[in-house]
Amino acid sequence: MAEADEELAHADVLELFQAALARLVRDPLLCDLPPQVTPEEIGSQVALEYGQAMTVRVCKADGESMRERSGRRAAGSGRRGRARGNAGAESGAAPAAVVVVQNATVLDLKKALRRHVQLRQARRGGVQHLSWRYIWRTYHLTYGGEKLADDGKKLRE
Q: How confident is the model at residue 26 (pLDDT cuts 50, 70, 90)?
A: confident
pLDDT digits (tens, 9 = 90+) for 86-113: 333 333 456 778 999 999 999 999 999 9
Give the integer Cα–Cα distance in Å for 63 and 16. 42
Q: Is residue 131 part of a domain?
A: yes
- Give the DSSP H/E element, type plus range, for residue 101: strand 96-101
Domain span at residue 116? 39-60+93-150
Give the CATH number of the domain where residue 123 resides: 3.10.20.90
**Spatial contact of 77 and 55, defined as CB atoms under 8 Å apart:** no
Per mean pLDDT, which range of 20-29, 34-43, 86-95, 106-115 is the poorest? Answer: 86-95
Residue 117 included in any domain: yes
Residue 119 lies in a domain: yes
Q: How far is Cα 58 from Cα 35, in angstroms, rounded to an integer?
A: 23
Residue 126 lies in a domain: yes
Residue partners of 34: CB distance under 8 A and separation at least 6: 25, 41, 123
Domain contains 101: yes
What is the reported pLDDT for 92? Answer: 44
Residues 111-137 have pLDDT tens digits of: 999 998 888 888 888 777 889 999 888
What pTM did the predictor assign? 0.66
In a domain? residue 52: yes
Confidence of residue 84 (pLDDT cuts 50, 70, 90): very low
How many domains in the chain?
A: 1
